[in-house]
Amino acid sequence: MYVRFLSKVFSGMAGPRPVVFSGPSGAGKSTLLKMLIREFDGVFGFSVSHTTRKPRPGEENGKDYHYVSREDMQTGITKGDFIESAEFSGNMYGTSKAAVQAVQAQNLICILDIDMQGVKSIKRTSLNPIYISIQPPSMDVLEKRLRARKTESEESLQKRLQAALVEVEFSREPNQFDVIIINDNLDEAYEKLKAALLQEIQKVKNTTKA
Ligand SMILES: Nc1nc2c(ncn2[C@@H]2O[C@H](COP(=O)(O)OP(=O)(O)O)[C@@H](O)[C@H]2O)c(=O)[nH]1
Ligand SMILES: Nc1ncnc2c1ncn2[C@@H]1O[C@H](COP(=O)(O)OP(=O)(O)O)[C@@H](O)[C@H]1O
């Protein structure tokens, strides 16, 4: 009885392991994580980052990102509101403590979509996530997808392609990621992603049932 109580307290405190998605801009992280959140409603929750970049058409403040000024972001960082933050392609991005806590308070699997600097920072914390790298089948395909997305200026696109080279290199370093998924065919990539997360998904489902 006491053991059961303790294990409940412990599991309540620890909660399910978060999942980090990383990889080049345009690799398909948002597409895949949105599919997961849609299919497994009540299992996953998205850590809404802060960013100084402008919202794209269709993006919602507070849902895709918290859109803030550089000044407000700096103030938050100085105050210690962020678990990690980074400069990417001329804009600031960061994961606030509140963003992760909001998801974990609901006992959901917290999904973080962060660049490689974020991955390195998170590795120095006690978050203990599963690290998943989403990679494009080639740089050519990546460029085509980014262009087809029509969200970037030529300058921003070039910056992202430059950063992508480094992101690809990073994913090839041994032991940086638990799982590497090449997003060639979307449905196949999604199946691989689900298979990699099946155990964690089951844990959350079991806890919810209890
Ligand atoms: N370190 C860090 N990177 C982030 C965060 N939020 C988003 N990013 C990364 O910033 C990069 C640019 O994101 P975004 O402007 O949404 O462009 P997209 O990836 O091309 O859709 C991506 O690599 C994201 O993973 C964050 O809170 N921290
Ligand atoms: N497997 C795929 N095949 C073709 N297009 C894809 C595939 N995966 C994603 N896309 C498209 O590529 C673009 C980049 O994907 P996105 O999810 O925005 O990437 P990221 O979040 O990693 O920057 C989007 O327009 C998306 O619809």
**Measured distance CA(171)–CA(177) in Å, rounded:** 7
Taking a C-beta distance cutoff of 8 angstroms, is the pair 102, 49 a contact? no
pLDDT of residue 188: 98
pLDDT of residue 169: 97
Ligand 1, atom nearest to 49 Cα: 27
Q: Which ligand is nearest to the CA of 28?
A: 2
Q: 15 in ligand 2 pocket by Cβ < 6 Å? A: no
pLDDT of residue 104: 96
Q: 119 in ligand 1 pocket by Cβ < 6 Å? A: no
pLDDT of residue 8: 43
pLDDT of residue 209: 72
For the annotated catalytic residues, the residue numbers are: 56, 149, 160
- Closest residue to atom 10 of ligand 2, CA basis: 28
Q: Which ligand is nearest to the CA of 55?
A: 1
* Tokens found for residue 92: 């600031």
Q: Which ligand is nearest to the CA of 84?
A: 1
Q: 30 in ligand 2 pocket by Cβ < 6 Å? A: yes
| 4 C-alpha to ligand 1 centroid (Å) | 40
Q: 207 in ligand 2 pocket by Cβ < 6 Å? A: no
Nearest to 110 by CA among 119, 120, 99: 99
Residue 55 to residues 68, 81, 139, 154, Cα–Cα distance (Å): 10, 22, 25, 17
Taking a C-beta distance cutoff of 8 angstroms, is the pair 28, 189 a contact? yes
Residue 155 to residues 53, 76, 90, 161, 162, Cα–Cα distance (Å): 14, 28, 10, 10, 11
Say how many C-beta atoms besides its own lie within 10 A of residue 83's C-beta. Answer: 22
Global pTM value: 0.94
Q: Which residue has the tokens 């801009």?
A: 25
Grouped pLDDT means (10 residues each) for the chain, 210 residues: 47 78 98 97 96 97 98 98 97 98 96 98 98 98 98 97 98 98 98 97 85
